[in-house]
């Protein structure tokens, strides 16, 4: 969700951003599930179910956010090797739960409404954690 995370780059860039987030207390898990691929000659579209889980503190309350969706990978074969040309995530739904069920958390409705339904709580949490989150992603 952090804009730097969504921009393709070298592995070292991903590692650097991941370390920076970890040092700031970011705890994120990406789970990839079922996968299908439609192949037509030297092109293919792959669909993979995914879940993003993140634990963080929002206004002093520890919460878990779970976001489910799909990755669409547009692939092409060049010189005999398959490459991902573009990855398009589709965020379907998410939820935010306090880790302590007795905790009370009031979300800012203006901030929450900045994000589409599919990743509104994940975007909220990451914005509160200080990351710049893209709006208008497919949901």
Higher per-residue confidence, 128 vs 16 = 128
Helix and strand counts by DSSP (H, E) for the chain: 4, 4
Number of separate domains in the chain? 1
User: What are the structure tokens assigned to 7, written together?
Assistant: 């921009």
Please check whether residue 44 lies inside any domain of the structure: yes
Q: Which residue segment(s) compose the domain that 17 sits in?
A: 3-128
Higher per-residue confidence, 125 vs 15 = 125
Please check whether residue 99 lies inside any domain of the structure: yes
Please check whether residue 135 lies inside any domain of the structure: no
Please check whether residue 18 lies inside any domain of the structure: yes
Backbone angles phi, psi at 23, to 5 degrees: -65, -25
H or E element: which one contains 96? Answer: strand 81-98
Question: For 3, what's the count of Cα atoms within 13 Å in the CB-facing half-sphere?
Answer: 8
Please check whether residue 134 lies inside any domain of the structure: no
Scored b (16 or more CB within 10 A) or e, 56-75 reads: bebeeeebbbbbbbbbebeb
- Give percent above pLDDT 90 in the chain: 70
Please check whether residue 38 lies inside any domain of the structure: yes
Contact 51, 33 (CB under 8 A): yes
Q: Is the pTM of this model over 0.85?
A: no
Query: According to the model, what pLDDT value does residue 11 have?
Result: 65
What are the pLDDT digits (tens) for 46-99? 999 999 999 999 999 999 999 999 999 999 999 999 999 999 999 999 999 999
CA-based R_g, the chain, Å: 17
CATH number at residue 108: 3.10.450
Query: According to the model, what pLDDT value does residue 53 have?
Result: 96
Please check whether residue 138 lies inside any domain of the structure: no
Please check whether residue 62 lies inside any domain of the structure: yes
């Amino acid at each position: 969700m952090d804009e730097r995370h969504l921009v393709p780059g070298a592995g070292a860039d991903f590692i650097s951003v991941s370390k920076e987030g970890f040092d700031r207390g970011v705890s994120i898990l990406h789970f990839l599930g079922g996968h299908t691929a439609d192949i037509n000659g030297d092109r293919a579209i792959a669909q993979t179910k995914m879940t993003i889980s993140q634990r963080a503190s929002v206004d002093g309350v520890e919460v878990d956010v779970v976001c489910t969706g799909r990755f669409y990978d547009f692939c092409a074969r060049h010189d005999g090797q398959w490459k991902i040309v573009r990855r398009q995530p589709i965020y379907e739904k998410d939820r935010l739960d306090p880790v302590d069920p007795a905790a009370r958390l009031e979300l800012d409705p203006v901030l929450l409404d900045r994000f589409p339904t599919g990743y509104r709580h994940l975007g909220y949490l990451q914005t509160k954690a200080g990351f710049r989150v893209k709006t208008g992603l497919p949901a």
